[in-house]
Amino acid sequence: MKQNLYSFEIKDAKGQVVQLNSFSGKAVLIVNVASKCGYTPQYTGLEALYQKYKDQGFVILGFPCNQFGGQEPGTDQEVQQFCSLTYNVQFPVMGKINVNGDESAPLYTWLKSSAPGILGTEAIKWNFTKFLIDKSGNVFKRYAPQTEPSELSQDIETLLKN
């Protein structure tokens, strides 16, 4: 069976299982996040995207990851507190995961194989790599960490129209 986003389940910050098919029919942006990264201020832009498009069927899922320079050392609870207090993040920030290596979350194994990066490499290079998923649960596009959230508006609007 061909996999799509809806084939997976993940854990939220409280350890509860979330079936990703609960996002069926929505455009979804998946981002590996960290609170001590040079790109951390992108939380502001991500939240702006979420607020702009959430009522049109768009959601962002943040996945804290400590695999890049130890930039997400906190517990799930500490990550939630940081996101809420520092950036007033309203979109779901899930439990910490690994995005590379033998312990990579199955969701990320699928994302990386569905949308390889530059020169066909599948590895996630750094925090704030972004994957935009269409309303059918398929990967639409992969974006580099330095791509500002505001640069995704046109692609999000395209997906929301279809």
Distance between CA atoms of residues 91 and 5, nearest Å: 18
Is the separation of the CB atoms in 57 and 26 below 8 Å?
yes
Distance between CA atoms of residues 74 and 81, nearest Å: 10
Q: Hey, how many other C-beta atoms are within 10 angstroms of the C-beta on 25?
A: 10
Out of 5, 28, 33, 37, the active site residue is 37
Beta strands, E only, 7-64: 9-11, 17-19, 27-33, 58-64
> Is 83 in the active site?
no
Q: Which residues are catalytic?
A: 37
